[in-house]
Amino acid sequence: MELNRRQVLKLAGLGVTATAVPGVLAACSNGSGGGAGDGSVKFEGWDYEATLVQQNLDNFTKTSNVKVNYTPITSAQYVQKVVAEFTGGGGPDALYVYDDSLAAWVEGEYLQPIDGLPGVDDVYAAIFPGNAEAMTYQGKRYGLPYYTDSNCLIYNADILAKAGFSKPPASLEELEAQAVKIKSMGLLEYPIGLPAQLSDTWWAWVWGLVYSSGGDMFDDQQAPIMNTTDTVTKDVLTWLQNAANKSKVLDPASLQLLPVPVDNAMKANRYAFTIGARYALRDYNDPQKSKAAGKMKMALVPSLDGKVHGTISNTRMYGLAKDTEVKDDAFKLLTYLGGFDASKQPYTAKFWFQQRGLGFAYKELAKDPEIVAALKKFADPAIYAQLAEIARPRNVLGVAWYTEFETEMHKVVQGVLSNQTQPSAAVASLAQTAGTLKKKYS
């Protein structure tokens, strides 16, 4: 099967690189229809805690008599595999969806809106506005929430105390100053570690730093402003470059680090600071998993002036395939996973927090006594809640070319960290990339 240029460009926008197109073409030739084909709901997701997922699905089947055919897919291959299945006509009925992929998957005609289906309005009224926004595309709703999180500063209070600091930094200048003192005292060679290798979440700390200072890379029409009216991105990149190459408090190994190695280093007391998701604190403060248990704290992401604060949110959702032949049962599954149960409680959202500390989109869960009691074991509930309130999604997710922009942004940030690209050239490059992609997909 051959694809015309427009179709190849669409695949690229869906997160499939040019080198992967031959594999997608092979998948397109199977000619099979969507769904499991046996009346069950074909459900797919990335492979996070697949055993727990199956346990929860078994409970759903017992209570609903709806059979679910669940397939976990390796996270690194998830987007490409799902795109290949949908393109070939063999996609799932219900599935996990990244907020990063939503616009492109809607444009690819893989998902259907869920407006008007039972309980959808109630769910959207009960969740944080940023999560509702991330699951909405061109005025239509496409998902029910799986989990959400927002970035925070994670710090080792014991190391800070040894350096004479009683509280975490509020500004980036303070962060660098504290790291310099920790370094000069010989406590750590590199006090700051960041996961700067390309992964499905590498972007979070970059956007988190920009949003913490009230900045934006794009305006509300998705036009790039990081090189014109908004200087925050340039200033953040300047700070990163200085921390990596002048004060040398940011570990140069960050260029090759994925999230798990950073997590392991934090748990081994090898870094004093990182910027990461709130749920990481659960593992960081688990004495069975971490040498730093009890020492790890969260704070707001430091900003340029230390006064304005914000952060980035992500939203992982459950979506409904456009061509599913078992829509009613598939939506029952979505409701069980992402909506309210018979007692008007978000059962699965609470399940995931209790089991693995995953963030929830439901505002009322922040007041749930069981949630608060569990949260106190690894984080400050007040800061946790404040981060959820001030978090916002990337305002450029509603374009089909975002995933390509993100890949190019990674190259630019790597250049800044390695001192190969100056911040002024970096923001100019980002703006040019956005303009080129916008024309490509117009």
- Predicted structure pTM score: 0.85
Token digits of residue 254: 């960050």
Residue 383 in any domain: the answer is: no
- Tell me how far CA of residue 150 lies from CA of 55, 130, 247, 388, in angstroms: 27, 11, 28, 6
Examine the pLDDT at 290 and tell me if it is beyond 60. yes
Residue 308 in any domain: the answer is: yes
**Of 351, 326, 327, 349, whose CA–CA distance to 339 is shortest?**
349
* Residues 127 and 145: beta-carbon distance below 8 Å: yes
Token digits of residue 383: 């800061």
Question: Tell me, what's the pLDDT at 415?
Answer: 98
* Residues 353-367: tens digit of each pLDDT: 999 999 999 999 999
Instruction: List residues bridging with 171 in a β-sheet.
Output: 303
Pairing, β 311-320 against β 143-156: antiparallel
Question: Tell me, what's the pLDDT at 11?
Answer: 53
* Residues 303 and 171: beta-carbon distance below 8 Å: yes
Question: Tell me, what's the pLDDT at 274?
Answer: 98
**Can you tell me the mean pLDDT for 387-408?**
90
Query: Which helix (H) or strand (E) is 172 found in, with range?
Result: helix 172-184
- Tell me how far CA of residue 231 lies from CA of 105, 210, 379, in angstroms: 32, 10, 33
Q: Are 13 and 107 in the same domain? A: yes
**pLDDT higher at 288 or 201:** 288
**Can you tell me the mean pLDDT for 391-412?**
91
CATH number of the domain where residue 222 is located: 3.40.190.10
* Residues 101 and 15: beta-carbon distance below 8 Å: yes
Residue-averaged pLDDT of the chain: 91
* Residues 44-64: tens digit of each pLDDT: 999 999 999 999 999 999 999
Q: Are 159 and 257 in the same domain? A: yes
Q: Are 225 and 136 in the same domain? A: no
- The rounded percent of the chain whose pLDDT value lies above 70 is 92
Q: Are 358 and 229 in the same domain? A: no
Residue 386 in any domain: the answer is: no
Measured CA to CA, the distance from residue 164 to residue 180 in angstroms comes to 12
* Per-residue confidence band for 13, with pLDDT thresholds at 50, 70 and 90: very low
Residue 387 in any domain: the answer is: no
* Residues 145 and 131: beta-carbon distance below 8 Å: yes
Residue 389 in any domain: the answer is: no
Q: Are 43 and 98 in the same domain? A: yes
Residue 388 in any domain: the answer is: no
Residue 278 in any domain: the answer is: yes
* Per-residue confidence band for 15, with pLDDT thresholds at 50, 70 and 90: low
Residue 109 in any domain: the answer is: yes
Q: Are 412 and 294 in the same domain? A: yes
Q: Are 303 and 412 in the same domain? A: yes
Measured CA to CA, the distance from residue 173 to residue 97 in angstroms comes to 37
Q: Are 140 and 156 in the same domain? A: no
Residue 293: which domain range? 150-312+396-440
Strands (E), 21-93: 41-46, 68-73
Q: Are 50 and 174 in the same domain? A: no
- The rounded percent of the chain whose pLDDT value lies above 90 is 83
Measured CA to CA, the distance from residue 229 to residue 372 in angstroms comes to 41
**Of 215, 213, 203, 232, whose CA–CA distance to 170 is shortest?**
213
Q: Are 226 and 272 in the same domain? A: yes
- How many separate domains does the chain show? 2
Q: Are 101 and 191 in the same domain? A: no
* Residues 57-115: tens digit of each pLDDT: 999 999 999 999 999 999 889 999 999 999 988 899 999 999 989 998 999 999 999 99
Examine the pLDDT at 28 and tell me if it is beyond 70. no
Measured CA to CA, the distance from residue 434 to residue 436 in angstroms comes to 5
Report CA 133 to chain centroid distance, whole Å.
14
Question: Tell me, what's the pLDDT at 76?
Answer: 80
Q: Are 255 and 365 in the same domain? A: no
Measured CA to CA, the distance from residue 281 to residue 383 in angstroms comes to 12
